[in-house]
Amino acid sequence: MSGNTTLFRDQVVIVTGASHGIGAHVATQLAAQGAKLVLAARRAAELEQTAAACRASGAEALVVPTDVTSEAECARLIAAAIAKFGRIDMLVNNAGLGMWSRVDAVHDLTIFERVMNVNYFGAVYCTVHALPHLKLSRGRIVCVSSLAGRTGVPLRSGYAASKHAMAGFFDSLRIELADSGVTVTIVNPGFVGTGTQGRNLGANGAPLGVSPVNAAAVMTPEECARITVAAAAARKREVVMTARGKLGLWLKLFAPGLVDRMTTKAIARGK
């Protein structure tokens, strides 16, 4: 948690992908600081569970079932937040969809479009509709990206492409907003043991059903959320969450082939 554990008191925060994993933990950690939460995801029942956990901390929580691939639903999410609370202080773009397949094994090419629609366009839609309100509050935009948004990763081509797109968009937006008071923070986790990796799309476009990640050997969603909330509080530009990730990005400048081999081994081990 950030040093000031009441920084977000009474701040209105929208969290997408809040039904499970990183998003749910970001929401509950912000709730513990007294934030007012607007929770978005497709699964209403799971959202209600997150909302209940937030309310247990004494926080207000509004549930807005949302498919972020729909611009109209993203606009409705922002409108619901304003109707309930009258302002927006932070948007956490966390909704995500993964894939796990070699490109030459993909049978259903719509997988690339589906992943891009969630990870990239979903963040764009929510941000553009929230931006006028964030300008009024001189607020924060937080994007949960990935190390795959900074370097190519085998078996994750569509996912890496969507996160690269996210990085390009939000790096550009940050510059445009330099004089507005609105800040953009991009966080780049490595593997996180969310327990939902079985939802990654496989070569046939269907969820894998089993997780390729060794959850016991990777970062917990609680820790990832803690780093994310702290980065948001400090209005950091970007955070790379793991020492291996930092080393890899540095090595990529001098020995990109070595980084390719490192990512291949990491994928094979699932950690």
Q: How do residues 218-227 score in pLDDT, each as one tens digit?
A: 789 999 999 9
Burial classification of residue 176, based on how many CB atoms lie within 10 Å of its CB (0-12 exposed, 13-18 middle, 19 or more buried): exposed
Question: Would 117 be classed as within a structural domain?
Answer: yes
Q: Answer yes or no: are the C-beta atoms of 110 and 118 closer than 8 Å.
A: no
pTM (two decimals): 0.89
Distance CA(229)–CA(237), nearest Å, equals 13
Q: Which range marks the domain in which residue 62 is found?
A: 12-242
- Say if residues 182 and 138 touch (Cβ distance below 8 Å): yes
**Maximum C-alpha span of the chain:** 52
Nearest C-alpha neighbor of 93 from the set 226, 232, 212: 232
What is the pLDDT at residue 216? 59
User: Which is more confident, 199 or 102?
Assistant: 102
Q: Is 125 a catalytic residue?
A: no
Q: Locate 55 and state its tokens.
A: 């309310």
Whether 250 maps to a domain, the answer reads no
Whether residue 4 lies inside any domain: the answer is no
CB-CB contact of 17 with 41 (8 Å): yes
**Distance between CA atoms of residues 148 and 160, nearest Å:** 5
Q: Does 163 map to a domain?
A: yes
SS3 (DSSP) at 21:
helix
252 or 155: which leads in pLDDT: 155
Write the pLDDT tens digit of every residue in 124-175.
Answer: 999 999 999 999 999 999 999 998 888 888 888 999 999 999 999 999 999 9
Lowest pLDDT segment from 185-194, 230-239, 256-265: 256-265
Cα 144 to Cα 187: distance, rounded to the nearest angstrom? 5
What CATH number is attached to the domain comprising 231? 3.40.50.720
Residue 158 domain-assigned (yes or no): yes
Indicate whether 267 belongs to any domain.
Answer: no
Model confidence pLDDT, tens digit, residues 25-34:
999 999 999 9
Residue 252 lies inside a defined structural domain of this protein: no
Whether 2 shows a pLDDT value over 50: the answer reads no
The Cα–Cα gap between 208 and 194 comes to 15
Instruction: Kindly state whether residue 45 falls inside one of the protein's structural domains.
Output: yes
**Among all chains, which residue has been given the structure tokens 């499970």?**
20
Dihedral angle sign, alpha carbons of residues 45, 41, 152, 262: negative
Give the pLDDT of residue 152. 84
Which of 85, 120, 159, 170 is the catalytic position? 159
- The structural domain count of the chain equals 1
Q: Give the residue-averaged pLDDT of 188-204.
A: 75
User: Per-residue pLDDT for 64 more than 90?
Assistant: yes
CB 163 within 8 A of CB 102: no
